[in-house]
């Protein structure tokens, strides 16, 4: 059985606190951010953000961008366009 101070150190290190409601809120925010960024990824080597989406079972490359905001904006525009003409 682990000692109490070992468990507390583990909880602090990995973000689990006595008030686990905060941990749940952090997880919800992370989940919302993942949905926002689905189709956007960062390439460390090129230091660029890539925007991609799937349409009719095929992955479409939308472009490369220097900022995350530009990639997200184009992805949202492409999603709106797809919905409008689907």
> Which residues partner with 60 through β-bridges?
53
| pLDDT score of 56 | 87
Instruction: Answer yes or no: are the C-beta atoms of 51 and 74 closer than 8 Å.
Output: yes
| pLDDT score of 46 | 92
Q: Which tens digit of pLDDT belongs to each residue from 63-82?
A: 999 998 899 899 999 989 88
* pTM to 2 decimal places: 0.58
Residue ranges of E strands in 1-86: 40-43, 48-55, 58-65
Instruction: Answer yes or no: are the C-beta atoms of 70 and 61 closer than 8 Å.
Output: no
């Amino acid at each position: 059985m682990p000692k109490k101070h070992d468990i507390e150190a583990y909880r602090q290190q990995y973000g689990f606190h006595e008030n686990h409601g905060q941990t749940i809120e952090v997880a919800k925010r992370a989940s919302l951010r993942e949905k926002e960024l689905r189709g956007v990824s960062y390439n460390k080597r090129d230091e660029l953000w890539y925007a991609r989406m799937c349409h009719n079972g095929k992955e479409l490359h939308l472009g490369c961008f220097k900022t995350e905001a530009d990639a997200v904006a184009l992805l949202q525009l492409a999603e709106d366009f797809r919905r409008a003409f689907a």
